[in-house]
Structure 1
């Protein structure tokens, strides 16, 4: 096995490589990492190809002799990079894959932005056959386009493609700071968009936890997955016969309920819940298909997400960051 990994320097990429290289089943496998802005260390089993996904020569070099592709490289809200990475880069990878005499499987990591996560309403759980409803912005659009492109290569050329669609991926103490009202908040939503600036600043000085409510007034339910569970799904999908040509939702068994989170943190950490009305929709990313066909089970529920985040001690040289552009 020789696996090409794009996005190897990111959150999922680093976690996957650590697991993959330590797995006895793949002890003789080689890794090629196509790196652009950031680099990882080469090794006896890890080869680095420096270059852009939009560079045909770099892609051709990286794809030489590859049996598996794990495509994770992405850009966030970067319109100047979106076409090069998500469209041209994806096209070059797929073209090389369909013409490769060695390629066995192409795995794409997609995101629930393709189905709009909390910005679009669904009357039932979101399955792999639910309509795509990207929210505004180029990042969500690129995920829809990537999913469609790999589907078409499966239809047109019989490519063995697998798509793992993940919601917001948590690691280390991320979830603790997702819930912060302070300047150290990780990700969103921006509290100043949901309340006055003064109120957000005041809450940031105390021990509070947001109890967000959706558009109907019910506690907001939002989908997450821990990076360890996503990596486990990746490992399960590798060469799995039931993964061929399939799309899988990879998420926790149930979406995170902000009322349950607030109650748990009030009970265990003494935080005070603060009601936050929002225009968002509660959605459920249904992982039944992955559990049934891949035999995969997420191990981290919302309590595990909280306990891991609150017990993690982050070193000064390990900053919390969003890993884009990749």
Structure 2
């Protein structure tokens, strides 16, 4: 049995990967390490918590007494744990630097001592490239992060690379575009707009709404990670993009149409500082290994909208009973 450590495995992408890994690999024993911050929730793992090949550990990657022994006995480490929301990084960058950079350092130090480790996957983001007015970012392009979240991820990205170059830690780095799918915390645009629209509430659209994002279904992301674990080479970087460039305003109209809600729910709000205009990834390198996204965006978005419609048990307690969420929403959107 391969021992697989998934940090941040109670978050959105992490929990989907844990579920995917257990289903796809009967010879994997998966340990989830998660601090259970506001976006890391046991509910995201409700259907695998009792799986005999899954162990949940409540802990912080910054706490070496907890995280280091898990890394040291692992065959594979898939490192999702991070503070991830751009808006929150603008309100306060400190936690992003501590978790995303210092936390990654703690794990990499343990990885140096891990005798069985054959892969350390550093989950990065397309935001490290900064805004891309035209064309598509390649893995060799300059990193030009423009907000504290992107900068913290760029720092972790390059730190992980340095541990391969200096200490021969078997690091592979992935930079994915915007993910969507089930179990995404409702501060992010798709679940926020879907759940607001379900309740007939305004959907707060930044600026002119013409910012462009490339959307990747979380299941396609999981398949890409699986391939990189198996076929990627240490020290390499792989872009993972869905190839679905959509303006935020068009995305908003698609969500409202899927729910039968009027365009009058769109509430323009002031743009956020440093809002990148466009992201786009060149995925030639990953496609050469045999990967391609399989979920068409229109179909995936419909299925995602339907998931939130069917699973109010998951998101209503967050939006209606969590004082911290309500305080954040008030600060960010003023209502």
Q: Give the TM-score band, short-chain normalised.
A: 0.7 to 0.9
1:300 and 1:238, CA in 2 relative to 1: closer, same or farther beyond 3 A?
same
SS across alignment from 2:21: helix
In the alignment, the residues of structure 1 paired with residue 27 and residue 79 of structure 2 have an alpha-carbon distance, to the nearest angstrom, of 21
Structural mapping, 1:115-264, within 5 Å: 115-116=129-130, 120-137=131-148, 139-172=149-182, 177=191, 190-191=204-205, 194=207, 212-213=209-210, 220-240=211-231, 242-257=232-247
Tell me what 1:199 maps to. Answer: none
1:288 and 1:182, CA in 2 relative to 1: closer, same or farther beyond 3 A?
same
The answer on whether the counterparts of 2:194 and 2:305 sit within 8 Å (CA) in structure 1 is: no
1:315 and 1:154, CA in 2 relative to 1: closer, same or farther beyond 3 A?
same
**2:99 is equivalent to residue 108 of structure 1:** no
The two structures have a TM-score, normalised by structure 1, of: 0.75
The two structures have a TM-score, normalised by structure 2, of: 0.73
- Structure 1 stretches of at least 4 aligned residues deviating more than 3 Å after TM superposition: 172-185, 257-274, 276-280, 309-312
In the alignment, the residues of structure 2 paired with residue 309 and residue 270 of structure 1 have an alpha-carbon distance, to the nearest angstrom, of 16
SS across alignment from 1:66: coil
The answer on whether the counterparts of 1:49 and 1:61 sit within 8 Å (CA) in structure 2 is: no
In the alignment, the residues of structure 2 paired with residue 263 and residue 285 of structure 1 have an alpha-carbon distance, to the nearest angstrom, of 24
Structural mapping, 1:55-66, within 5 Å: 55-66=63-74
Q: CA shift at 1:170, angstroms?
A: 0.4
The answer on whether the counterparts of 2:3 and 2:75 sit within 8 Å (CA) in structure 1 is: yes
The answer on whether the counterparts of 2:82 and 2:99 sit within 8 Å (CA) in structure 1 is: yes
The answer on whether the counterparts of 1:71 and 1:109 sit within 8 Å (CA) in structure 2 is: yes
Tell me what 1:203 maps to. Answer: none
**2:42 is equivalent to residue 51 of structure 1:** no
SS across alignment from 1:223: strand
249-258 or 50-59, which moves further after superposition? 249-258
In the alignment, the residues of structure 2 paired with residue 229 and residue 168 of structure 1 have an alpha-carbon distance, to the nearest angstrom, of 12
Cα-to-partner distance string for 1:273-300 (whole Å, 9 max, x where unaligned): 98x898853342122211113x111012
Structural mapping, 1:4-83, within 5 Å: 4-23=5-24, 26-37=25-36, 38-39=41-42, 41=49, 43-76=51-84, 77=89, 78-83=92-97
1:307 and 1:44, CA in 2 relative to 1: closer, same or farther beyond 3 A?
closer
In the alignment, the residues of structure 1 paired with residue 204 and residue 244 of structure 2 have an alpha-carbon distance, to the nearest angstrom, of 24
Q: CA shift at 1:9, angstroms?
A: 0.4
Structure (1 or 2) with the greater helix fraction: 2
Tell me what 1:305 maps to. Answer: 300
Aligned-pair RMSD on alpha carbons?
3.5
Q: CA shift at 1:183, angstroms?
A: 7.4
Tell me what 2:333 maps to. Answer: none
In the alignment, the residues of structure 1 paired with residue 114 and residue 277 of structure 2 have an alpha-carbon distance, to the nearest angstrom, of 43
In the alignment, the residues of structure 1 paired with residue 257 and residue 197 of structure 2 have an alpha-carbon distance, to the nearest angstrom, of 25
Q: CA shift at 1:121, angstroms?
A: 3.7
In the alignment, the residues of structure 2 paired with residue 309 and residue 84 of structure 1 have an alpha-carbon distance, to the nearest angstrom, of 32
1:291 and 1:257, CA in 2 relative to 1: closer, same or farther beyond 3 A?
farther
Paired residues in the alignment total 289
Cα-to-partner distance string for 1:167-218 (whole Å, 9 max, x where unaligned): 2210149775565696779xxx953x527xxxxxxxxxxxxxxxx33xxxxx
The runs of 5 or more residues in structure 1 that have no matched partner are: 196-211, 214-219
In the alignment, the residues of structure 1 paired with residue 252 and residue 56 of structure 2 have an alpha-carbon distance, to the nearest angstrom, of 44
Structure with the bigger RCO (C-alpha within 8 Å, sep 6+) is 1
